[in-house]
């Protein structure tokens, strides 16, 4: 959904990082006028993410090394089988060779996240909670990683420290109490932001709701405790929004997907994912 105006800048910095003063191998071995065709394909089954990254990489190298066009063949979110074609390239061989690694590195990382997210979302099932990410993202990659989560069928939590109030354990320590922290947040945050509090016990649930929290983050409850916490909180305030987190693997999500939480947040969508295997093959 979100368009990232910083994509151009990220890709430009990424190419600068890889290319430096120039791709000495390509520039010396390949003629400037050599035209070529190639295909990016999957070497294992994946859920795809990162087409905008790849398009931007080849757009930028084209302006420096000669025109090359990347034509995506499937959209982000698609499931691609082993051997399936992701996109086609044609144009300047210098441009394509210079951009290849940078484009693939983005596609492989982001598709890894989408593929991993899909497993969690499937475990939750259609009737289960929304699966959302956290702020445990690779610095400088948050917007793209959150798009990969959406490509895998997940949803997003807040995007940063400025578009949502989430009072966590360390804020409570620093503020003195949940009551005091919520009181201050209500006085200062603007009226379009809800206030969420991380709670780890029934006592904390009661204190947070009494203070006026509109959302609770139920952190690190075991399965039985989570069910009890949900019932308790809903009884106090039927309109409260409930989020659960803590060691949320696909297995556990499948186990608790009938508990009436609205949202399960999973850092591991991103930080426990691995790159999938993609490759660029030239037509000789």
As annotated, the active-site residues are 101, 136, 168, 198, 219
Among the residue ranges 40-48, 70-78, 230-238, 268-276, the one whose residues contact a second copy (CB under 8 A): 268-276
48: DSSP letter: -
Using CB under 8 A, pick the residue from 174, 235, 238, 251 that binds a second copy: 174
Q: Is 234 in the site for a second copy (CB under 8 A)?
A: no
Task: Please say which residue, 80 or 265, places its beta carbon nearer to a second copy.
Answer: 265
258: DSSP letter: T
Q: Is 280 in the site for a second copy (CB under 8 A)?
A: yes
Q: Is 86 in the site for a second copy (CB under 8 A)?
A: no
What are φ and ψ of residue 123, in 5° steps? -65, -35
**Closest C-alpha among 50, 60, 49 to residue 8:** 60
Using CB under 8 A, pick the residue from 59, 73, 90, 171 that binds a second copy: 171
Residue 269 near residue 47, CB atoms below 8 Å: no
What character string, x for contact with a second copy (CB under 8 A) and - otherwise, covers 178-217?
A: --xx--xx-xxxxxxxx-x------------------x--
What are φ and ψ of residue 173, in 5° steps? -55, -45
Using CB under 8 A, pick the residue from 73, 158, 228, 234 that binds a second copy: 158
Task: Please say which residue, 174 or 224, places its beta carbon nearer to a second copy.
Answer: 174
Using CB under 8 A, pick the residue from 151, 152, 243, 253 that binds a second copy: 243
Least separation in angstroms between CB 79 and a second copy? 21
Q: Is 127 in the site for a second copy (CB under 8 A)?
A: no
**Closest C-alpha among 123, 119, 147 to residue 133:** 147
Give the relative orientation of helices 7-19 and 93-124 as an angle to the nearest 10 degrees: 120
Distance CA 165, CA 160 (A): 10
Residue 261 near residue 243, CB atoms below 8 Å: yes
**Cα angle value 164/8/66 (rounded, 5°):** 165
Task: Please say which residue, 214 or 221, places its beta carbon nearer to a second copy.
Answer: 214
Least separation in angstroms between CB 276 and a second copy? 9
Least separation in angstroms between CB 106 and a second copy? 6
Q: Is 166 in the site for a second copy (CB under 8 A)?
A: yes
**Closest C-alpha among 17, 123, 105 to residue 53:** 105
Neighbouring CB atoms inside 10 A of 224's CB total 9
Task: Please say which residue, 163 or 222, places its beta carbon nearer to a second copy.
Answer: 163
Interactions with a second copy, residue window 10-69 (CB under 8 A): 10-11, 13-30, 34, 36, 38, 64-65
Task: Please say which residue, 224 or 238, places its beta carbon nearer to a second copy.
Answer: 238
Least separation in angstroms between CB 118 and a second copy? 18
Using CB under 8 A, pick the residue from 52, 167, 216, 233 that binds a second copy: 167
Distance CA 261, CA 248 (A): 13
Neighbouring CB atoms inside 10 A of 274's CB total 11
DSSP 16-40: HHHHTT--HHHHHHS-TT-EEEEEE
Q: Is 106 in the site for a second copy (CB under 8 A)?
A: yes
């Amino acid at each position: 959904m979100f368009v990232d105006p910083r994509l151009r800048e990220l890709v430009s910095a990424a190419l600068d990082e890889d290319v430096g003063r120039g791709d000495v191998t390509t520039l010396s071995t390949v003629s400037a006028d050599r035209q070529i065709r190639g295909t990016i394909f999957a070497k294992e089954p994946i859920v795809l993410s990162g087409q905008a990254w790849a398009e931007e990489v080849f757009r930028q190298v084209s302006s420096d090394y000669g025109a090359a066009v990347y034509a995506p063949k499937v959209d982000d979110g698609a499931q691609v089988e082993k051997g399936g074609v992701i996109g086609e390239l044609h144009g300047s061989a210098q441009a394509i060779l210079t951009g290849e690694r940078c484009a693939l590195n983005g596609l492989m990382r982001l598709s890894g996240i989408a593929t991993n997210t899909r497993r969690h979302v499937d475990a939750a099932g259609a009737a289960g909670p929304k699966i959302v990410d956290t702020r445990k993202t690779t610095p400088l990659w948050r917007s793209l990683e959150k798009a990969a989560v959406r490509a895998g069928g997940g949803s997003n939590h807040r995007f940063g420290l400025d578009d949502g109030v989430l009072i966590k354990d360390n804020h409570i320590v620093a503020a003195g109490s949940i009551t005091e922290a919520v009181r201050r947040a209500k006085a200062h945050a603007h009226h379009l932001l809800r206030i969420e509090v991380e709670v780890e016990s029934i006592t904390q649930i009661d204190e947070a709701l009494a203070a006026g929290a509109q959302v609770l983050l139920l952190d690190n409850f075991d399965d039985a405790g989570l069910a009890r916490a949900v019932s308790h909180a809903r009884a106090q305030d039927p309109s409260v929004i409930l989020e659960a987190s803590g060691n949320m693997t696909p297995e556990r999500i499948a186990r608790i997907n009938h508990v009436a939480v609205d949202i399960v947040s999973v850092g591991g969508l991103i930080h426990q994912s691995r790159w999938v295997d993609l490759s660029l093959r030239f037509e000789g």
